[in-house]
C-alpha cells in the first residue's frame, strides 16, 4: 500500500467553528489511504477535535499566535517548520489575517498554496482594520483562491480575482444523513434536556462573539417569550461574550427559559430538539450550521446580510436586522406551520452540499497538485 500524501491545514484553533467544522467534515470523508491531513493551530488550548484528529492519523503542530510585535518570531517559526518538514507539498490556509505571511514563506519552499475565505468581515475597531490591511496581498500570493460563497470570495480577494481561473467556490459540505430528522432522537434528547413535547424550542448554534449577534437574538426571544411563556431558547457554543449573554438573560427575565449548552461534538442530536432555527448574524461567509439545519428540516430565519448561496431549500427566510416585529411574527408563523418536509427540489439543493461529493473533488485536486510539485510542473 502506498504512503498517503499529507496536506497541511492551517487553522486558528481546533474548536467547533465554521472553518474548523468544514475541514473536519472533509477529513472524515477523505480516503485517508490516499490523502492525510495535518494541522497547524495558533492557540495553546486543546480543541474539541484534537483527539479525533489523532485517532484519524493526523498530526497537530502549534505555531505562535501572531500579535504584530512578534513578526520575526512568527516568520522564523514557519521557516524552521518547512525546513524540518519537506514532506508537505500543499498548504491549505484558513487563517486569513496572517495568510500573506505563511503562504509567502510556503511558496519559498516550493509548496502549492491555497487561501480559503470563510467570512465577509473582520469586525470593527483597530483589530479589524489591521486584519483588513494584512490580508490584502493574499490575492497576489496564493496559487489558488477558495471561498465558501460568492460574498466571501469578493470580500477577501476582490471581484476581479473571483473571475480568474485559480478561483474556486467550495461548498461547505456536510454529512446529510447524519443531520436528517429523527423522531426517536428528538424524543430522547428532549427528555434528556428536560423539555416536554409541547414546548416550542427556538435554536441557535454559534460562537459567543459579536458576529453572531446574540444580543439581538435574546431581544427577539424576550419579545416572543411574552406571547409563549413555555417556549425555550436553546443555544450551543461558547466564547468571549458568554458572561455578557448570561447577564442579559437575567436582565430580560428569561434566564430560566434559555439553555446554554456549550460545545458538543454530537451537534446533530441537538437540531432534533429544535422547532425553528434563528440566525441573526451581523456578517457571515456561508454558515455550515444553516446547511445542517436545512438538512434537518428546520425552518431557518436568518438576517438578510447572509449570502443567498445558503438558500438550498425553501426553508430559509431572510429578514432585515432591526425589524424585530418581523422576526417575532416569523417565529409565530413557523410554530403554526411546524417542521418542513423536504421536497424533491429541496433534496436536490442539499445534494450539492453533500460532503462526499465535495470531498471527492477536493481530494482529486490535492492529489493533482501534489503530483505537479513532484513532477516539477508549475
In terms of pTM, does the model score above 0.85? yes
Would you say the CATH fold of 183-351 matches that of 5-173+354-375?
Answer: yes
Give every CB contact of residue 252 below 8 A, 6+ residues apart in sequence.
Answer: 218, 219, 222
179 or 337, which is more confident? Answer: 179
The predicted structure's pLDDT at residue 67: 92
Percent of the chain scoring above 90 in pLDDT: 87
Q: Does 99 have pLDDT greater than 90?
A: yes
Tens-digit pLDDT profile for residues 59-77:
999 999 999 899 999 999 9
Average pLDDT over residues 308-325: 95
Give every CB contact of residue 365 below 8 A, 6+ residues apart in sequence.
Answer: none
Give every CB contact of residue 368 below 8 A, 6+ residues apart in sequence.
Answer: none
According to CATH, the topology of domain 5-173+354-375 is: Rossmann fold (3.40.50)
Q: How far apart are CA 161 and CA 155, in angstroms?
A: 10
The predicted structure's pLDDT at residue 1: 55
Q: Does 201 have pLDDT greater than 90?
A: yes
Percent of the chain scoring above 70 in pLDDT: 99
Tens-digit pLDDT profile for residues 140-184:
999 999 999 999 999 999 999 999 999 999 999 999 999 999 999
The predicted structure's pLDDT at residue 341: 79
Tens-digit pLDDT profile for residues 281-307:
999 989 999 999 999 999 999 999 999
> Beta strands of 280-325 (E only): which ranges?
300-303, 316-319
Q: What are phi and psi of 91, to 5 degrees?
A: -120, 135
The predicted structure's pLDDT at residue 117: 96
Contact 16, 174 (CB under 8 A): no
Beta-carbon neighbour count of residue 160 at 10 Å?
10
Residue of 302, 307, 333 lying closest to 320 (CA atoms): 302
Q: Where are the domains of the chain?
A: 5-173+354-375, 183-351
According to CATH, the topology of domain 183-351 is: Rossmann fold (3.40.50)
Q: Does 232 have pLDDT greater than 80?
A: yes
The predicted structure's pLDDT at residue 95: 95
The predicted structure's pLDDT at residue 121: 86
DSSP assignment of 121-147, as one string? ---SHHHHHHHHHHHTTHHHH-SEEEE
Tens-digit pLDDT profile for residues 242-295:
999 999 999 999 999 999 999 898 999 999 999 999 999 999 989 999 999 999
The predicted structure's pLDDT at residue 174: 93
Q: Which residue has the cell 474548523?
A: 20
Amino acid at each position: 500500500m502506498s504512503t498517503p500524501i499529507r496536506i497541511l491545514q492551517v487553522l486558528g484553533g481546533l474548536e467547533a467553528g465554521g472553518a474548523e467544522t468544514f475541514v473536519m467534515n472533509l477529513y472524515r470523508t477523505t480516503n485517508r489511504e490516499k490523502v492525510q491531513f495535518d494541522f497547524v493551530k495558533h492557540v495553546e488550548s486543546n480543541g474539541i477535535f484534537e483527539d479525533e484528529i489523532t485517532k484519524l492519523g493526523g498530526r497537530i503542530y502549534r505555531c505562535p499566535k501572531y500579535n504584530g510585535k512578534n513578526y520575526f518570531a512568527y516568520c522564523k517559526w514557519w521557516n524552521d517548520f518547512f525546513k524540518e518538514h519537506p514532506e508537505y507539498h500543499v498548504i491549505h490556509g484558513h487563517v486569513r489575517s496572517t495568510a500573506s505571511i505563511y503562504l509567502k514563506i510556503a511558496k519559498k519552499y516550493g509548496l502549492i498554496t491555497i487561501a480559503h475565505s470563510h467570512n465577509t468581515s473582520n469586525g470593527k475597531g483597530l483589530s479589524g482594520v489591521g486584519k483588513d490591511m494584512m490580508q490584502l496581498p493574499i490575492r497576489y500570493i496564493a496559487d489558488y483562491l477558495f471561498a465558501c460563497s460568492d460574498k466571501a470570495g469578493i470580500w477577501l480577494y476582490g471581484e476581479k480575482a473571483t473571475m480568474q481561473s485559480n478561483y474556486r467556490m467550495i461548498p461547505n459540505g456536510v454529512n446529510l444523513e447524519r443531520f436528517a430528522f429523527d423522531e426517536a432522537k428528538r424524543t430522547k434528547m428532549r427528555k434528556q434536556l428536560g423539555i416536554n413535547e409541547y414546548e416550542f424550542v427556538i435554536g441557535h448554534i454559534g460562537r459567543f462573539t459579536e458576529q453572531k449577534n446574540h444580543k439581538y437574538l435574546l431581544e427577539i426571544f424576550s419579545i416572543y417569550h411574552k406571547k409563549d411563556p413555555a417556549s425555550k431558547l436553546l443555544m450551543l457554543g461558547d466564547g468571549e461574550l458568554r458572561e455578557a449573554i448570561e447577564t442579559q438573560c437575567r436582565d430580560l427575565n428569561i434566564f430560566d427559559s434559555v439553555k446554554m449548552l456549550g460545545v458538543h461534538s454530537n451537534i446533530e442530536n441537538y437540531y432534533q430538539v429544535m422547532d425553528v432555527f434563528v440566525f441573526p448574524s451581523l456578517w457571515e461567509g456561508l454558515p455550515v450550521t444553516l446547511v445542517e439545519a436545512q438538512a434537518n428540516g428546520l425552518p431557518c430565519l436568518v438576517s438578510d446580510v447572509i449570502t443567498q448561496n445558503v438558500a438550498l431549500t425553501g426553508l430559509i427566510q431572510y429578514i432585515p436586522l432591526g425589524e424585530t416585529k418581523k422576526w417575532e411574527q416569523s417565529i409565530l408563523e413557523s410554530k403554526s406551520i411546524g417542521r418542513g418536509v423536504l421536497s424533491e427540489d429541496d433534496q436536490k439543493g442539499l445534494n450539492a452540499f453533500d460532503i462526499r461529493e465535495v470531498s471527492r473533488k477536493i481530494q482529486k485536486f490535492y492529489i493533482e497538485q501534489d503530483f505537479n510539485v513532484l513532477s516539477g510542473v508549475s
